[in-house]
Amino acid sequence: MHRMATVLCTSGLAAEARIARAAGFPVVIGAGDRERTTALVERAVQNANCLMSFGIAGALSPELQAGDVVISTEVVSEDSCWRADDRFGTRVAALAREIGALQGSVFGAPVILANEAEKRRAWRETGALAVDLESDVVARIASRAGIPFLVARTIADTLYRELPPAALIPLSEAGNPNLARVLGSVILRPRQIGTLVRLARETRTALLALARPAHAFRGLVTAS
């Protein structure tokens, strides 16, 4: 007998959370703050039997393009590695193949990797396809709770994309850009406008692509 899993999503952006909620998932928004993310997930995990790190990510593999979907049940950090059990991993892999997603490990970084040199270093050291700020938090808490986890991410910035200063400004607690501070950064450094426009276009592509994994994993089941 099977029952529908209570899959709790963890996202950094409000835009990511809206996509997850539209697919029927409960979501916590960490807003890029790892301590806040940890506290929120630890508080909510008691009501879940699966955790999903859901949203956009940066590419570490040079082959990944904006909008590519990465699905994983393996997460690495600077000092640890987590892997879901084989049975759950097999089920996730089958769903990933159905939507044409790439499969490989994801790096949970302590800070944003803002340029090609940082991303290449992480790729060499971890072998991960992509990087974000939430996946290692999700994997660690899920492992402690004894429940499965997965990562569903779409690529927003490629290996070669250098993030401009305005893109590194912390989000609001609701997971939205701080528009006043972004505008201030642009006024001080107007040369970043072109890069910001391209990054915004790539981020939109990644957000649109998130609908595929959101709907694919809506039917995830676990044995009761």
Give dist(CA 158, CA 202) in Å, integer: 9
Q: What is the pTM of this model?
A: 0.93
Distance CA 165, CA 69 (A): 26
Enumerate the domain spans of the chain: 2-219
Cα–Cα nearest to 138, from 152, 123, 157: 152
**What is the rounded distance in angstroms from the CA atom of residue 199 to the CA atom of residue 174?**
21
CATH for 2-219 (3.40.1280.10, 3.20.20.30, 1.25.40.10, 3.40.50.1580): 3.40.50.1580
Question: Is 107:122 a contact under the CB 8 Å cutoff?
Answer: yes
pLDDT in tens, the chain (224 residues): 344 468 999 999 999 999 999 999 999 999 999 999 999 999 999 999 999 999 999 999 999 999 999 999 999 999 999 999 999 999 999 999 999 999 999 999 999 999 999 999 999 999 999 999 999 999 999 999 999 999 999 999 999 999 999 999 999 999 999 999 999 999 999 999 999 999 999 999 999 999 999 999 987 654 33
CA distance 216 to 101: 11
